[in-house]
């Protein structure tokens, strides 16, 4: 989608936006997402939350799945937490090279 209100410096700028991944729900779906993003041409990736399905409990499976997906994403990658996510996830996400932004 093109916007007339963006500065000319953004002409041709391409954003990859992934949201509501609910990573631990389906390993097959996450492998498919990784396959789809491989080889895409974009200038920046943004991840907009709900990385996990549950709103409570351990985050390990989600973080493992995000680490696998992250290997397929080109720099820079920015993220924000969704309402299903926990602030406890932020340090590991940043260790993966995802620059987490405050809400």
Q: Which residues pair with 99 in a beta bridge?
A: 78
Given a contact cutoff of 8 angstroms between Cβ atoms, the answer to whether 14 and 43 are in contact is yes
What is the CATH number for 74? Answer: 3.60.21.40
**Longest CA pairwise span in the chain (Å):** 45
Q: How confident is the model at residue 9 (pLDDT cuts 50, 70, 90)?
A: confident
The residue with greater pLDDT, 9 or 87, is 87
- Within a domain: residue 71? yes
When pLDDT is averaged across residues 3-29 and rounded to a whole number, the result is 91
pLDDT per residue as tens digits for the range 45-86: 999 999 999 999 999 999 999 999 999 999 999 999 999 999
Tokens 């993220």 sit on residue: 79
User: Is residue 1 scored above 70 in pLDDT?
Assistant: no
pTM for the complete prediction? 0.89
- Within a domain: residue 1? no
Range of the domain at 67: 13-100
DSSP assigned state of 98? E
- Within a domain: residue 2? no
Q: How far from 89 is each of 11, 31, 49, 80, CA to CA, in Å? A: 34, 21, 11, 11
- Within a domain: residue 76? yes
* Per-residue pLDDT, 8: 87
Count of the separate structural domains present in the chain:
1
């Amino acid at each position: 989608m093109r916007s007339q209100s963006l500065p000319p410096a953004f002409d041709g700028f391409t954003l990859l936006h992934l949201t509501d991944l609910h990573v631990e729900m389906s390993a097959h779906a996450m492998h498919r997402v990784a396959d789809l993003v491989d080889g895409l041409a974009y200038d920046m990736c943004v991840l907009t939350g709900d990385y996990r399905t549950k709103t409570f409990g351990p985050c390990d499976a989600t973080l493992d799945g995000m680490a696998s997906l992250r290997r397929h994403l080109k720099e820079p990658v920015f993220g924000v937490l969704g309402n299903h996510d926990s602030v406890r996830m932020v340090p590991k996400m940043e260790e993966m090279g995802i620059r987490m932004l405050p809400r």
